[in-house]
Amino acid sequence: MAQTSTLPRPHLTQLDVIHCARTTIAAVASLLVARLFKLPEAYWAPITSIVVMQSTLGAALTASGQRFVGTALGAIAGAVLATFCGANVIAFAAGLFVCGLLCALARLHWNAYRFAGVTLAIVMLVSGPRSPLVLAFHRFLEVSIGIAVALILTAVWPEPQPQLSD
Find, among 132, 2, 144, the residue nearest to 80 by Cα: 132
pLDDT of amino acid 18: 92
Find, among 111, 118, 67, the residue nearest to 95 by Cα: 118
Residue 89 and residue 121: Cα distance in Å, rounded? 10
Q: What is the dihedral of CA 97, 87, 77, 48, to 10 degrees?
A: -90
Residue 86 and residue 37: Cα distance in Å, rounded? 27
Residue 164 lies in a domain: no
Average pLDDT across the chain, whole number: 90
Structural domain range at position 127: 14-156
**What is the percent of the chain where pLDDT is above 90?**
69
Q: Give me the phi and psi of 85, to 5 degrees please.
A: -125, -10
Q: How many domains does the chain have?
A: 1
Residue 18 lies in a domain: yes
Question: 125-139: per-residue pLDDT in tens?
Answer: 986 788 999 999 999
Residue 94 has pLDDT above 70, yes or no: yes
Residue 151 lies in a domain: yes
Q: Is 19 exposed, middle or buried (0-12, 13-18, 19+ CB in 10 A)?
A: middle
User: How sure is the predictor about 59, in pLDDT bands with cuts at 50, 70 and 90?
Assistant: confident
Instruction: Look up residue 9 and give its DSSP letter.
Output: P
Question: 106-163: per-residue pLDDT in tens?
Answer: 999 888 999 999 999 999 998 678 899 999 999 999 999 999 999 999 999 988 877 7
Residue 141 lies in a domain: yes
Residue 146 lies in a domain: yes
Residue 163 lies in a domain: no
Question: 4-18: per-residue pLDDT in tens?
Answer: 667 776 788 898 899
The arithmetic mean of pLDDT across residues 31-51, rounded, is: 96
Residue 3 lies in a domain: no
pLDDT of amino acid 127: 66
Residue 77 lies in a domain: yes
Tell me the CA distances in angstroms from 94 to 88, 101, 117, 128, one per residue in order: 10, 11, 11, 21
